Structure 1
């Protein structure tokens, strides 16, 4: 497959990287890292709203998954706490609804609401959803998701007992909803699960076409690994720079053959991950569900393992300094390790590929 980013997509990535460099999320996070989970800064939320990024996948904006992917990679590189993919996917889904809930799409894109998309775990127990007259009863626990503690509501997707797929808007203060904050390796984002045992009235839920949840699962799996790619690419750049500065035996360690091989392997793993993920992004923009799922699982399985390996090599080349609290390496490595496991682990995606 021949593929290259357009000039507009390159400019989009460069613009977002410039903003994130100026408003360094890691520097901001370090000031509050002992105070509790990472929160979404108001300035960052205002930026993605005013830039139109939350509404990127809506019909008015006309963006694609490839467009959103370049942004998610930049936010992964910067270790941003904004759940950009979850917000953009929720906004796009809300817009498609033939239901009064569709009005929330505009509110989400405008920053009046902060509504991420939340799903059950692909490798865990699914949510239980039962339709009783016009009401919907949801019970169970969702997959871990970032940014839930800052949300003003949640767009929850589930499959009912009769096989019908539904989406529901759930306010965080609703009876029967518990936002359970999780302690994870990742210190750059907040992670939480939603525990449900509630009845949703008719004005807050609706049915959606079959295949909607599978597409959403694939999209979140893809963006989780795209985020890891951004962090891995930053570790590659930091490692090459460090190797060119660190001296040993009166020469820079970049001159040692073993270190050269390490850096070359990091570059190979990063570039190959990017290639597989771009193929998945193109498939997400397509209409073939089998092709999409296979492309996403191939990319997630490879990139999940490869980015974790890049983080391990980066730590090895940095040596002792890489273990220190003051160095950013451990924050990016922690982020990559969590991305590796969630929305389908490497082994889960491999199993899915084998079974198809």
Structure 2
């Protein structure tokens, strides 16, 4: 299987990297994190101009119909630059609208950068079980009211529309709720990685069903797999950046009159960091190739394999990078600490290593042959 990026993908990556290197340096990023809004409006407009927001939108709604490999290119660059704008949340929302066959103007507006989206995956009691839903919906047709609470909604307070999973007469369904809807409580906060999240409370809040009766548990699981794959791709960018920063620091930091990069034990550590990263890259590329597979089990297996391996790499590479930087690696003045924080959040979002290993082994394609 060939995982080489095409010419257009490489050109797109280079253009995005040039923008981020020039306009989204670490100091600029820190000012955005410290701001009240927590996002940079000028960068969101720039993302729209660069075509990032239109990339996952279908052509019928004015987008580029970018596939998983195209998104892999984008998310790696955003992870490398520690971007805090709600791109991941909106991209996942766009995929939810696409899978729900929602042909309204929301997709077009999202592609133009006019609105932001968020999917409310989590409920506080459920840990990583997506289908342990206590949020319920009451109604008929496509008009419903929601009751329940969603926690850790990524960029929930910055969104204009939420996609909310809930149960209708025992079955899973997806709903669209505008953030200006009545009877909705929003509590926003900053997470340890500089991103923003929110707790949403629905008390008979008006909602519109997404996709009718055909959009249920299987669609919700597929949306979650898409979101998980994008997180893996973002983690690759952070892992690459950590490796580069650690090697550069080891070449400059002197001990006993020589750079510490000359110590064989530390060379071995940095090689192990690179091996972890490349193994994570391989399984993430496989997940990108399998995401649109008609075989749901094959897709789920590839995504869980990627999330588990990325989680292992995130912990190992992050810990080694901090240790090799010494005390400086723990300070907020060094980007290495922020890459590690972001990787730690990614590792525990939509299932940690243990969760995805258990999911992987529970799928029909997995078998163990005794000797």
Task: Output the TM-score relative to the length of structure 1.
Answer: 0.91
* One of 97, 116, 119 as aligned partner of 1:117: 119
Gaps of 5+ in 1: none
Instruction: Check the 8 A contact 1:273/1:299 in 2, yes or no.
Output: yes
Give the structure 2 partner of residue 145 of structure 1: 153
Give the CA RMSD over aligned residues. Answer: 2.2
- Partner in structure 2 of residue 192 of structure 1: 198
Q: Using CA pairs below 8 Å that are at least 6 residues apart, which structure has the higher relative contact order?
A: 1
SS at match of 2:203: strand
Paired residue total? 351
Q: Match of 2:263?
A: 256
> Is residue 70 of structure 2 the alignment partner of residue 67 of structure 1?
yes
User: Which residue does 1:156 correspond to in 2?
Assistant: 164
Aligned: 1:350 with 2:357: yes
Consecutive unaligned residues of structure 2, counting only runs of 5 or more, are 364-371
Q: 1:201 to 1:222 in 2, by over 3 A?
A: closer
Report 1:324-343 matches (<5 A): 324-343=331-350
Find 2:81's aligned residue among 50, 73, 78.
78
Shift of 1:323: 2.2
Inter-CA distance 150–39: structure 2 relative to 1 (3 Å threshold): same
* Structure 1 residue 88 corresponds to structure 2 residue 96: no
| 3-state secondary structure, aligned to 2:327 | helix
Q: Does the 8 A contact of 1:231 with 1:336 survive in 2? A: yes
222, 226, 233: which one aligns with 1:219 = 226
CA distance in 1, matches of 2:339, 2:260: 23
Distance 1:308 1:184, change over 3 A: same
Contact 1:156/1:169 (CA < 8 Å) preserved in 2?
yes
| Residue-by-residue CA offset, 1:103-141 (whole Å, 9 max, x unaligned) | 111111112222233323543642523342343232333
When normalised by structure 2's length, the TM-score is: 0.87
Paired residue secondary structure (2:10): helix
Q: Measure the CA separation in 2 of the matches of 1:88 and 1:152.
A: 13
**Structure-2 separation of matches of 1:323 and 1:15:** 32
Aligned to 1:281: 288
Q: Which string of whole-angstrom CA distances, capped at 9 and with x for unpartnered residues, describes residues 142-177 of structure 1?
A: 3523322222222223443342533x2212232232
Partners in 1 of 2:157 and 2:137 — Cα distance? 26
1:85 and 1:223 in contact (8 A); partners too? yes
8 Å contact kept, 1:54–1:91: no
Shift of 1:320: 2.0
Contact preservation (8 Å) 2:284, 2:303: yes
- Mapped partners of 2:327, 2:100: distance in 1: 53
Instruction: Report the equivalent of 1:48.
Output: 47
State the shift of 1:200 in Å.
2.2
After superposition, give the CA deviation of every residue in 1:66-94 in whole Å (9 maximum; x if it has no partner).
10111011101100012223212322443
Q: Which residue of 2 aligns with 1:136?
A: 144
Per-residue displacement from partner, 1:226-275 (whole Å, max 9, x unpaired)?
22221111010000011111111111111100110111011101111111
User: CA 1:292/1:53 → structure 2, altered by over 3 Å: closer, same or farther?
Assistant: same
CA distance in 1, matches of 2:295, 2:167: 21
Secondary structure at the aligned position of 1:149 is classed as: coil
Moved more, 75-84 or 224-233: 224-233
**Kept after mapping to 2: 8 A contact 1:148/1:192:** yes
Inter-CA distance 278–205: structure 2 relative to 1 (3 Å threshold): closer
